[in-house]
Amino acid sequence: MSEALSARTVLLTAEINKHEIHARSNDAKMTSAAQTDPTLLPALPNWHLKEHGLLPVVQGGMGVGISAHRLAGNVAALGALGTVSSVDLRHHHPDLLAQSQKTHDRAELDGINLIALDREIKMALEIAAGRGAIAVNIMKAVAAHATYVRQSCESGAHAIVMGAGLPIDLPEMTRDFPDVALIPILSDARGVNIIVKKWLRKQRLPDAIVIEHPRYAGGHLGAPKIEEISDTRFDFERALVEILELLRGMGLESEKIPLIPGGGIHTHGQIRALLQMGAAAVQIGTPFAVTEEGDADIAFKRVLAEAKPENIVTFMSVAGLPARAVLTPWLKNYLGREKALQSHAKADQRRCVQGLNCLTMCGLRDGIASAGQFCIDTRLAYALKGDIKKGLFFRGSEPLPFGTAIRPVAELMQYFLTGSAPVTA
Ligand SMILES: Cc1cc2nc3c(=O)[nH]c(=O)nc-3n(C[C@H](O)[C@H](O)[C@H](O)COP(=O)(O)O)c2cc1C
Ligand code: SF4
């Protein structure tokens, strides 16, 4: 290990020992990172996001409410990039939920969401206490994405990560906040080509790029159709080579834009191999969702951790993108009726029962027969609360590092960085 790395190890260990987790009141028994083995050795090199030196494991944003302040803050406190998902964070704030019940006005509901986002970012920053960095994940497909971007910058987020659509206008949206890092989520060299060319015209480059594999990732997937998710253009070995070649061809080699593959990564060996292939870090979702610090109900974590491979399915979301989730009772029932519901697709504003109008294009409200026909906001909120009968439980396709065990973030990070699993796992 180099001297720089050893010095960092000492620092990280001291930080973990100092670290206190701000648990929600109903999580009093949560194990803090300070109580875990303090031999967290960063055996893999750091990467840089603007001025932040970070551990090479990024925690992906997970909505609705799955990665809120507690998960993101605790990941950042270890020296990595923790990500708050911006989608409908009201569900972590009973006062805001109560306020929402009194209105069906979209502007008012958006305003309430922004208060929740501001609170979550500030609480995550407080837990991080200057360590690591806090990103906010914002889906382009969400109607209020531009206001989420502005709020995130104003609330002190260090980075904006945008996927579920091409974030072409992100540089304009963040013009007043040049210190905020911009990270598009793309899936192949084609997407990178479009974004980098468009952004160059605006004198901006991505500060990093997440390359998400639609065959393995959880949540919405970056392929236009389900039949395309296994296309070899998404394979990391091919995508990394093609993207590095593309950037070289554009004369951007010296910019060293960090590339961050994500989707199905669950072993230390995979991370090491991807870094050797030219990745700067990896993005990981499902394994973080099931940690003790994950912001969802324990029943949510059990559904993900205990899912059998044959019960993880890919289907069309209401946002018009393929998505991956666990085949729980609601999804099974819905998929059984999907064709019939699609044949009755009809544009009708009243189908957006809450009046939230969360999506720019919604298969249910706008009568798009090729898209899903359910309210995703309602279903994901049930899942967050652990309602196994009614919820939609997004999950990646691959096994989890600790099987069905729910362990602290520090142990997961230790395993990803060093390959050494805790004896208790
Ligand atoms: C429960 C869940 C919710 C997710 N929500 C979002 C989201 O709101 N926005 C987003 O860009 N990605 C979302 N993702 C994708 C993750 O950020 C991550 O990139 C992906 O899960 C990586 O694959 P893995 O789960 O196999 O590690 C979600 C994933 C899961 C499992
Ligand atoms: S029906 Fe649901 S998913 Fe569609 S826009 Fe309204 S709140 Fe969003």
278: left (phi over 0), alpha (psi -120 to 50) or beta: left
CA of 90 to the centre of ligand 2 (A): 15
Q: Which amino acid, 309?
A: P
- Which single residue is written with the structure tokens 């009141």? 25
- The DSSP code for 35 is G
Considering only residues 166 and 41, tell me which one the structure prediction assigns the higher pLDDT: 166
Q: How confident is the model at residue 314, as a pLDDT?
A: 97
The rounded Å distance from CA 155 to ligand 2 centre is: 26
- What is the DSSP track for 140-208? TTBTTHHHHHHHHHHTT-SEEEEESS--TTHHHHTTT-TTSEEEEEE-SHHHHHHHHHHHHTTT---S-
Q: Which atom of ligand 2 is nearest to the CA of 378?
A: 2
pLDDT computed for residue 257 by the predictor: 96
Within 6 Å (CB) of ligand 2, which residues are found? 318, 351-352, 354, 356-359, 362, 364-365, 375-377
Question: In this predicted structure, what is the pLDDT of residue 105?
Answer: 87
pLDDT at residue 148, rounded to an integer: 97
More confidently predicted of 7 and 190:
190
Ligand lying closest to the C-alpha of residue 401: 1
Nearest CA to ligand 2 atom 2: 375
Strands 47-49 and 52-54: antiparallel
What is the Å distance from ligand 2's center to 378 Cα?
8
Q: What is the band of 254 on the pLDDT scale with cuts at 50, 70, 90? A: confident
What pLDDT is stored for residue 421 in this prediction? 77
Q: What are 368-418's pLDDT values in tens digits? A: 999 999 999 999 999 999 999 999 999 999 999 999 999 999 999 999 999
356 C-alpha vs ligand 2 centroid, how far in Å?
Answer: 6
Give how far Cα 142 sits from Cα of 85, 156, 332, 340, Å: 12, 21, 26, 26
Would you say residue 37 has pLDDT above 90? no
Residue located nearest, by CA, to atom 8 of ligand 2: 358
Q: Is the pLDDT of residue 23 over 70?
A: no
Q: Summarize pLDDT for 59-77 with one digit per residue, the tens.
A: 999 999 999 999 999 999 9
Residue owning the nearest CA to atom 11 of ligand 1: 163
DSSP letter for each residue of 233-294: GG-HHHHHHHHHHHHHHTT-GGG-PPEEEESS--SHHHHHHHHHTT-S-EEE-HHHHTSTT-
As given in the structure block, the two tokens for residue 65 are 């409410």
Q: How many whole angstroms separate alpha carbon 345 and alpha carbon 354?
A: 19
Mutate to test the pocket of ligand 2, among 100, 318, 360 (most ligand atoms within 8 A of CB): 318
- What is the DSSP annotation of 97-124? HHHHTT---HHHHHHHHHHHHHHHHHHH
pLDDT in tens, 325-343: 999 999 999 999 999 999 9
Amino acid at 414: Q
For 195-234, how does the pLDDT look when each residue is reduced to its tens digit (9 = 90+)?
A: 999 999 999 999 999 999 999 999 999 998 999 999 999 9
Q: Which residues line ligand 1 (CB under 6 A)?
A: 60-63, 66, 85, 87, 137, 139, 163-164, 185, 212, 216-219, 262-265, 283-286, 289, 394-396, 398
pLDDT tens by residue, 77-93: 999 999 999 999 999 99
Whether pLDDT at 2 is above 70:
no
**Which atom of ligand 2 has the smallest separation from the CA of 376?**
3
- What pLDDT is stored for residue 328 in this prediction? 98
